[in-house]
Amino acid sequence: MMENEIPKSPAAPLTEVERATYQWQIWTDGFGEEGQRRLKNSTVLISRCGGLGSVVAYELAAAGVGRLIIAHAGNVKHSDLNRQLLMTYDWLGKPRIETIERRLKELNPRLEIVPLAANLDDELAEKWVPEADLCVGAAPMFQERFAMNDACVRHVKPHVNCAMYDTSATITTFPAGGKPCLRCLTPEVPEHWKREFPVFGATSGTVACMGALEAIKVLAGFGETLEKRVLHFDLRQMAFHEVTLNPREDCKICGK
């Protein structure tokens, strides 16, 4: 693990309410109060808050991450409601980012949220990635994932990438500065990728929970992350396997 992946021990101690709220996870071996203080003093940028990002954001809000920067455009539609768990029926036709903020605050009023009613592009990534300690890629479009990845390499930020299609999913964690980065895994937009895809909320939620835990481990500095490993699984058969991901020397973003 690179030195700059582990945040400095923050000065702010936990309050009594925080100690009571997070007691059961503070008992986790290797995490403890120091891990909880690190989460409290961390900022995570989440690109899209749909089937994947809603669950990542909810788990990170529940775990006590101090600040979330969330990028998600558009208004709530009926077809969001099978998986985008921060969207609600009463918010149909209204901005998604508003219900995202409202629901996260209902769970954790201490959480600071930077709501961006837009999807990530190069300009937004350049502005907000430097503000984050870690980024989570949960967008359906590769252009958004690449914008996050490329900015994470430039600004030396770790990056968790969650993706799914039908009942299958993929997850990996890229170290700060890349080597490898997302472009080592997928250099360009795959030819046949389309915007809409089959999905159960239980599938996107499964990989999203794994992504949230990867973020928690990197931020708190415990456990073993999926760095240089890509985990694939298909929940249709409950089949899991992983492959090693080495950096590409010719990667146009992290290579040289």
State the residues that interact with Zn ion by CB under 5 A. 178, 181, 183-184, 251, 253-254
Query: Can you tell me whether residue 217 is helix, strand or coil?
Result: helix
Which residue, 54 or 225, has its beta carbon nearer to Zn ion?
A: 225
Please give, one letter per residue, the 3-state secondary structure of 178-200. Answer: CCCCHHHHCCCCCCCCCCCCCEC
Least separation in angstroms between CB 231 and Zn ion: 18
Do residues 70 and 115 touch, judged by C-beta distance below 8 A?
A: yes
Contacts for 109 with CB less than 8 Å, ≥ 6 apart: none
Least separation in angstroms between CB 177 and Zn ion: 10
Least separation in angstroms between CB 174 and Zn ion: 8
Least separation in angstroms between CB 251 and Zn ion: 3
Least separation in angstroms between CB 223 and Zn ion: 24
Residue 109 has what DSSP assignment? T
Which residue, 53 or 178, has its beta carbon nearer to Zn ion?
A: 178
Q: How many CB atoms lie within 10 A of CB 120?
A: 28
* Spatial separation of the C-alpha atoms in residues 240 and 233, rounded to whole Å: 4
Contacts for 191 with CB less than 8 Å, ≥ 6 apart: none
Which residue, 111 or 147, has its beta carbon nearer to Zn ion?
A: 147
Which residue, 52 or 184, has its beta carbon nearer to Zn ion?
A: 184
Which residue, 174 or 222, has its beta carbon nearer to Zn ion?
A: 174
